[in-house]
Chains A and B, each alone.
Chain A
Amino acid sequence: MPIVFAGAASHAPGMTAWTEAAPKQQADAFLGDYRKLGLRLAASNPDVIVALTVEHWANFFLNNMPAFCIGRADHYDGPIEEWLRIPKARLRGDAILAAQLLDACLDGGFDPTFSDELLLDHATFLPLHFLNPGMAVPVVPVILNALTPPMPTARRCFAFGQVVGKFLQKNSKRIAIIATGGLSHWPGEAQHGTINIRFDQQFLENLIKGDYAKLTAYSHEEIHREAGSGGHEIRTWIALAGAVEGWKAELLAYEPVVPWATGCGLVEFHQ
């Protein structure tokens, strides 16, 4: 079976850690849509979830920072944050699919690192909390460096996604693929709390139109200036667009949630 579900979602920790700081109506609407996306994922009955994700100094430091890393473990523990208000869990992995994916990347012109032990933080656990209730479905995390420069370019992320998607489409398992991160936010920075609605909406429009030329043309500098250090995480969305190239993106929700300090988006892709 090929890819049976594809979706992208923001992972602002405030969604669970300080939910009630947001206006109730806004929080209820957005998190309701997040759960709706989870129901759609469940309805696709996947054997495994491939998560195009990022991390925030959970595993890697400046002594060794991979551009792309594929998790090849049998399980993953998380979330590492005590304050996230998401129960700690041991998440099943899929080492076989991960190993096959690594081979496919190497054959396809990419050389990701691999890891048989990854700790997952809110970047992965928060979306799975909504999209994979009870952590029932095994996960293969694929970490992109959206944390510290130099980062893989938007063009390279899209191409990486194409290689990943091409392999997954031919796999015998039913695969859900998700991207997590963004949209504009400046976590822990002097501009913390800023949300660039104009940038977010333009990005979502590019995604919905399937404008791959624009999606792959985002420069590091533009993202950094317009969407903040957290905005670099849109690389996972761009990679997902590459993985399901030709699929139509549907916007489920966009909310600039000031107390969560993030432009929050939810998108599903349809074949």
Chain B
Amino acid sequence: MSLYQLQKFIYHVNRDAAQRERYRQDPAAFIKGYELTDAEARAALDVNVRALYSMGVHSLLLRPFTLLHKLSNEDYAKALKNLE
């Protein structure tokens, strides 16, 4: 579990235009710069909202990250359905 690294990755993509561009060009290569478990890396690369949320990613990091991936409010809500 490396929630700090996972959130750091998302924070960089959300907030730093240069890093966002590097991420967009090659997500798999970009994510190697962070110390993530296989499950975390997979959830991040798949933009698996439910998994990332369940891992504890802060909602105000996660929602902007999913907006970058054009996820609608409805699909975001659907991904979190029946979670605490």
User: Is A78 part of the contact surface with B, judged by Cβ < 8 Å?
Assistant: no
User: Is B8 part of the contact surface with A, judged by Cβ < 8 Å?
Assistant: yes
- The binding surface of chain B is classed by DSSP as helix
Q: In the complex, A63 Cα to B82 Cα: how many Å? A: 32
In the complex the two chains form, is B4's CB within 8 Å of A190's CB? no
Q: In the complex, A61 Cα to B13 Cα: how many Å? A: 13
- How many cross-chain pairs have Cβ atoms below 8 Å apart between A and B? 44
CB < 8 Å: which of A62, A83, A189, A193 contacts B59?
Answer: A189
User: Is A187 part of the contact surface with B, judged by Cβ < 8 Å?
Assistant: yes
Chain A residues whose CB sits within 8 angstroms of the CB of B83 once the complex forms: 190
User: Is A1 part of the contact surface with B, judged by Cβ < 8 Å?
Assistant: no
Q: Which of the segments B20-28, B31-39, B40-48, B60-68 contacts the partner chain? A: B60-68
Chain A residues whose CB sits within 8 angstroms of the CB of B4 once the complex forms: 62
In the complex the two chains form, is A57's CB within 8 Å of B61's CB? yes
Please tell me the size bucket of the interface on B.
20 to 34
Q: In the complex, A221 Cα to B12 Cα: how many Å? A: 29
CB < 8 Å: which of A61, A83, A148, A189 contacts B80?
Answer: A189
**Known A190-B80, A192-B77: A57·B63 in contact at CB below 8 Å:** no
Instruction: Tell me the nearest residue of chain B to A82, going by C-beta.
Output: B67
Chain B residues whose CB sits within 8 angstroms of the CB of A96 once the complex forms: none
In the complex the two chains form, is B11's CB within 8 Å of A188's CB? no
Interface string of A209-246 (1 = CB under 8 A from B): 00000000000000000000100000000000000000
Q: List 21 A-B contacts (CB under 8 A).
A: A57-B11, A57-B14, A57-B58, A57-B60, A57-B61, A61-B11, A62-B4, A62-B7, A63-B8, A83-B67, A147-B60, A148-B58, A186-B59, A187-B59, A187-B60, A188-B62, A188-B63, A190-B82, A190-B84, A192-B59, A229-B59
Starting from the known contacts A58-B15, A188-B60, A188-B63, 14 additional A-B residue pairs (CB-CB under 8 Å) come to A56-B60, A57-B11, A57-B64, A83-B67, A186-B59, A190-B81, A190-B82, A190-B83, A192-B59, A192-B76, A192-B77, A192-B80, A229-B59, A229-B60
Interface set of B (CB-CB < 8 Å, partner A): 4, 7-8, 11, 14-15, 53, 58-64, 67, 76-77, 80-84
